[in-house]
Amino acid sequence: MKTFDNTNRGQIWKNDKKQTDTHPDFKGELNVDGVTYWVSAWKRKPDANPASPALSFSVTKKEMPAHVKQAAAIDPFDDDLPF
């Protein structure tokens, strides 16, 4: 079975949780050279065609939570036991 490669691809969806005008109209993820980013997009015109709106984007690097980074840095085989 062939696995799908998402490198250098992205997707956005309508933001169903938008509560204010400052919240993005669309949200999603983007992968650039193996690094994942959050994507937020806003319609530039309130009367834009929903099928093809002109968008303004914001891209932010998606970071691992600190507790996950810390756990990943611990080597379970790095100890002083002789066996």
Locate the domains of the chain by residue range: 10-73
Q: Give the CA count within 13 Å in the CB-facing half-sphere of 55.
A: 18
- In this structure, what DSSP letter does residue 33 have? T
Q: Which residue has the higher pLDDT, 27 or 64?
A: 27
- Residue count of the chain: 83
pTM for this one?
A: 0.61
pLDDT digits (tens, 9 = 90+) for 17-60: 999 989 999 999 999 888 888 899 888 777 777 777 777 878 78
Is 80 exceeded by the pLDDT of residue 72? no
